[in-house]
Structure 1
Amino acid sequence: MSRADDVMQETFLTVSAKADDYERDSNFVAWACTIARYKVLEECNRKHSKSLMLSPEVIEAVCVSHEPAPSDDEEARMAALKCCMDSLSPHTRKAVELRYSRAHSAGEIAKLLGWSTDSVYVVLSRARTALQKCVNSHLKVVG
């Protein structure tokens, strides 16, 4: 798994963790992209290397704004995501929390939980897949 995947997962989970901060009638995509920008910049700063810096143009290209989904869809998606986060197993939820709420690296999580770094990557990858499937399933039932 690449660092880009880690940053994307971190962004996804930060968006879900900060869902209560989102202003319902505002542009969700712009709000989420702002979080993504900060996560990319945090990753670049964490590595303290000029070679890792992305130009502002690249960051903006990643965050090209699209029409926001209707508010009802956004509300349903966020409710589904909260429910799905609660359905994760305790060890998976702990790994996700350490990675995305507390910004620990995979290596740090491995040390804290007594796992291998590869195991951490597998658990986080499976958690992201499970969350995506769960949210989609919830939305089909609601829709």
Structure 2
Amino acid sequence: MMDPTTRRKRTHNEEVAALFLKHSSRIRGIILSMQPDFARADDVLQETFLTVSAKANEFEFGTNFMSWVYQIARYKVLEDRRRSGKTTEQLSLASIESLLAAESNLADDQHEERVEALKDCLTKLSPRSRQAIELRYAREHPASEIATVLGWTVDSVYVALSRARTLLAKCIDEDLRSKGVTI
């Protein structure tokens, strides 16, 4: 017979695992936004699950589960990048975090759909627009510094950022409408 402490610990760990499984497609989407290689993203998802399982007793119910898992996934992506030594053209983790922050209050299913749409839409921006977005939202550079880095005028930076945000918003809305998701 199992003692009450062991039983509570096992129940807690099972509940954490169930939460992970419930949100696994959303977690995978977040990982894919940081690691666009599907095979490597799936490996990172598995490593994230193993770490979440091993640290389940550290999670406190009533706190933000997705935030806790996101931090674990983020470190797993960084580990994967270091191990592979590969760099791919993608937005930095901070860029993704900044862009996803605006979506944090959406329902889980709508959030997942928006993350997928955002990933697709980011690839449709020109490389210079992606760079401007990253400099602004990931690295938090002011327009004057972005202008210096890109060799643009400050006004050009404001226009480029505005257009990029507008294009992303339109693209995401169109993508969601095509999938029948209510916006």
Q: Please give the range of the TM-score, normalised by the shorter of the 2 chains.
A: 0.5 to 0.7
- Within the candidate set 23, 31, 38, 2:66 is matched to 23
2:116 is matched with 79
Gaps of 5+ in 2: 1-29, 35-64, 68-97, 99-104
Paired residue type of 1:103: E
Are 1:135 and 2:178 matched, yes or no?
Answer: no
Identity of aligned residues (%): 49
For residues 129 and 123 of structure 1, the distance between their equivalents in structure 2, rounded to whole angstroms, comes to: 10
| Relative contact order, higher structure (CA 8 A, sep 6+) | 1
**Cα offset, 1:110, TM superposition:** 0.4
The separation in 2 between residues aligned to 1:110 and 1:70, in whole angstroms, is 37
Question: Which amino acid is 1:70 matched to?
Answer: A
Query: Counterparts in 2 of 1:90-105, with a 5 A limit?
Result: 90-105=127-142
SS in 2 for 1:23: helix
- 1:37-84 superposed Cα distances (whole Å, 9 cap, x missing partner): xx9xxxxxxxxxxxxxxxxxxxxxxxxxxxx54322111011101111
Name the counterpart of 1:52: none
How many residue pairs match? The answer is 85
Output the amino acid matched with 1:105.
P
Of residues 88, 110, 113, the one that matches 2:125 is 88
Q: How does 1:1-143 map to 2 (within 5 A)?
A: 19-20=30-31, 23=66, 68-143=105-180
Residue 163 of structure 2: SS of its match in structure 1? helix
What is the SS of the residue equivalent to 2:173?
helix
Map of 1:62 onto structure 2: none
Compare CA radii of gyration and give the structure with the larger one: 2
What is the TM-score with the length of structure 2 in the denominator? 0.42
Indicate the RMSD between aligned Cα atoms, in angstroms. 2.7
For 1:97 and 1:69, the matched residues in 2 are separated by: 23
